[in-house]
Amino acid sequence: MSAENATMNRPYRLRRTLVLATAVVLASSLATACGQDDGSGATTPAGADRTSAPGTDGTEGATGNGDTTPGEGGATAPTMPGMPNGPTMPSVPTMPGQGHRQIRTSVYFLHGEQVSPAPRTVAAPTTAAGALRALLAGPSKYEARNGRTTAIPSGTALRSIVVRRHVATIDLSGRYDDGGGSLSMQARLAQVVFTATRFPSIEKVRFELDGKPVTSFGGEGIVLNHPVGRADFEDLAPQILVESPLIGDSVRTPVRVWGSANTFEATFKLKITDAAGRTAADVYVTATSGTGTRGTFDVTIPYRATRSGAGTLTAYWNSLEDGHAVVEDTIPLTLQR
């Protein structure tokens, strides 16, 4: 009898057992494959405790090239820093043989004198290291044309990053503290802190320069004898910080807008202007808290554009004195009808 006929004549119960065993093996393989990137440079298996995930030395990983162009990628939302119940950002999958999994994140430049996020794509598992290298590379030409700058001295290099218990120890080259006054020193610290804490595994940052712990930074003597987080740089964050969509994103109606805000009674407005310069949407938004306490917001806004093309998202609030619009930030976008 041939092997094929022998298999077909096996008892039903045996065949059923083999099918069930195969299903269990497949399920186990899928569970193992679906690990989660914790942003610290290590991949945590699904269901594992993220606080106990090993850190990374940050010496490997993607280096940002700063060549972001408008319309590159959609507007996705990672977990809000310090907000475990915030929206989560899906990673960009890679096909077998295409290398490391790609993850979309943000680096924080300056718009005026306040931090402003810009999109970057980094490779897992060393995602935090990749994001910091992208930050140090500076704004792209498109971002620079739209007013994004950096206070970080050119030539600053990332030596390492190690994450333990939600604190990232970031070692930068000595070039990082060269020149600049008090505002410049505060701004470059804020840029690194906001970029690192974009990842949910990092809540605060401890700084080192050339391998030595920093307790006092720059000629102004900024005290850094303890880990610092976003709250330590509240003055350098706009009262309305839009975390998504990001500069250059291509969006369609309705567009999801989320971030954090610290405005009077937690209210403010979001306006979308289309390629013809007309108002496509102008809505009131209420954050989870305000009036001295930064809260979060996550809204979906329908808009009506007269045509597709360059547009702008403006975050603002109205003055209590005379009602004029106080603009907190503007985000150039590409609007699709």
Strand 43-44 and strand 36-37: pairing? antiparallel
pLDDT score for 97: 52
In whole angstroms, what is the distance from residue 327 CA to residue 22 CA? 60
Span between the terminal Cα atoms of the chain, in Å? 66
Q: What is the mean pLDDT of residues 113-129?
A: 95
Three-class SS state of 34: coil
Peptide bond into 93 cis (omega under 30): no
Q: Which residues are within 8 A (CB) of 145 and not within 5 positions of it... i.e. 6 or more apart?
A: none
In whole angstroms, what is the distance from residue 235 CA to residue 248 CA? 25
In whole angstroms, what is the distance from residue 124 CA to residue 36 CA? 10
Please say if the pLDDT value at position 247 is more than 70: yes
In whole angstroms, what is the distance from residue 5 CA to residue 30 CA? 32
Q: Which pair of tokens denotes residue 235? A: 């003055």
pLDDT score for 36: 36
| Distance of alpha carbon 51 from the chain centroid | 19
Amino acid at 208: E
Query: For the segment 218-228, what is each residue's pLDDT rounded down to a tens digit?
Result: 887 899 999 99
Highest mean pLDDT among 11-15, 41-45, 74-78, 155-159: 155-159
Q: What is the mean pLDDT of residues 204-209?
A: 98
Three-class SS state of 45: coil
Please say if the pLDDT value at position 60 is more than 70: no
pLDDT score for 75: 38
Strand 267-273 and strand 309-318: pairing? antiparallel
Closest CA to 119 of 334, 280, 336: 334
**Neighbouring-strand partners of residue 161:** 170
**Neighbouring-strand partners of residue 105:** 120
